[in-house]
Structure 1
């Protein structure tokens, strides 16, 4: 067990019951697909 006060502590059974949209939501900008004009190397979001 970690002594880190800010480490996430979500029991596996609770994590498994999260809504599907929450489980499938992109966690990083690289996970977003199909929007190369926004998220690509020269995209608007990368330049911000």
Structure 2
């Protein structure tokens, strides 16, 4: 029975690099979302 996703054509180093790049983007969005949420909460409290 063949593996359902097929064979990866990327090297393990490429996979790790792509994963790190993706995590960096998510962390940047998370920081900006926290800042926005804090700002919104301050406006609602007033």
Query: Taking CA–CA contacts closer than 8 Å with sequence separation of 6 or more, which of the two structures ends up with the larger relative contact order?
Result: 1
Bigger radius of gyration: 2
Q: Which has the higher helix share?
A: 2
TM-score range, shorter chain: under 0.3
